[in-house]
Amino acid sequence: MKRSFVKMQGCGNDYIYFDCLEEELPQPEKWSRKLSDRHFGIGGDGIVLICPSETADAKMRMFNADGSEGKMCGNAIRCVGKYLYESGAVPKKDMWIETLSGIKRLILTTSGSQVLSVTVDMGSPILGASEIPTLFNLDTVLDHPLKVNGQEYRVTCVSMGNPHCVVFLNEVESLPIVTIGPQFENHSMFPERINTEFIHVIRRNELRMRVWERGSGETWACGTGACAAVVAAVLNGYCDEGADVTVHLNGGDLIIRDVGETVWMTGAAVKVFEGTVEL
């Protein structure tokens, strides 16, 4: 069976997109593992299925490179908006996309028939320790000590549909993330594993971020992670609520605005190439 796909990326967070509006993709967990391999597959952080929805303009399902299904991906949903608009499937600059973490609103900035950037209403951050979920015996995990591999870190935990652990450090460029990332991801305090954002505060309302995503490893960007990082930075007094915060990721910049009741994320969405694959 041959299926068409589109490779797209947002700040280097790259996925393989399948149009499932008319035809489902069987065994997506299996194909995410096989196709995401950067040596023996197409290569990517996972696959995304663009599906019909009874409650929104379309539905996004995303699978990590290890085959696990994620609830939400901020970079991927921008690319879903771009695909739907440019393909003519949803010719609207203000659209709604169903995800496992709720229905998200997208506002598209366009030039002619091309989508230049997408702003996403990422919803309200979840701060309840048990809701994220974590096993901390606390109401919220704010600048709390956590011992990882014998070293103590100060962590703030936030869910933006996906669980995140935010760690503020003096610098992140030399961080051995391949070693420390899995230790956070699989820590006993996180029953569903965790995404971890390592943050250096450059100046007020400007952050440098590296991210270890559960199921994918270090990625070039994570939209929900950037939102969680800004929420954590506001809570810890590094950034201002209601201000545009620039988050520098390995793959580019995102603009995040935490207004309290919701978090807005703005960034680019880029088509890399399209093709067909034998399944």
The catalytic residue positions are 73, 222
205 is an annotated ligand-binding site residue: no
Whole-number Å distance between alpha carbons of 99 and 273: 25
- The contacts found for 134-140 with CB under 8 angstroms, 24 or more apart, are 134/163, 134/189, 134/190, 134/191, 134/194, 135/188, 135/189, 135/190, 135/191, 136/189
| Nearest-angstrom CA–CA distance, 263 and 241 | 10
Query: Is 131 within any annotated ligand binding site?
Result: no
Residue 196 annotated in ligand binding: no
Q: Phi-psi region for residue 11, left (φ > 0), alpha (ψ -120 to 50) or beta?
A: left
Does 214 belong to an annotated binding site? yes
Secondary structure (3-state) at 110: strand
Q: Is residue 13 annotated as involved in ligand binding?
A: yes
Q: Is 74 annotated as a binding residue?
A: yes
User: Using CA atoms, how far apart are residues 119 and 77, in angstroms rounded to an integer?
Assistant: 10
Does the annotation place 246 within a ligand binding site? Answer: no
Q: Cα(240)–Cα(245) distance, rounded to whole angstroms?
A: 8
Q: Is 195 labeled as ligand-binding?
A: yes
Nearest-angstrom CA–CA distance, 264 and 50: 22
CA gap 164, 245 in Å, rounded: 18
Helix (H, G, I), strand (E, B) or coil at 55: coil
Place of tokens 């694959």: 277
Q: Is 210 annotated as a binding residue?
A: no
**Residue 149 assigned ligand-binding role:** no
Q: Which residues are annotated as a binding site for substrate?
A: 13, 64, 74-75, 162, 195, 213-214, 223-224
Q: Which residues are annotated as a binding site?
A: 13, 64, 74-75, 162, 195, 213-214, 223-224
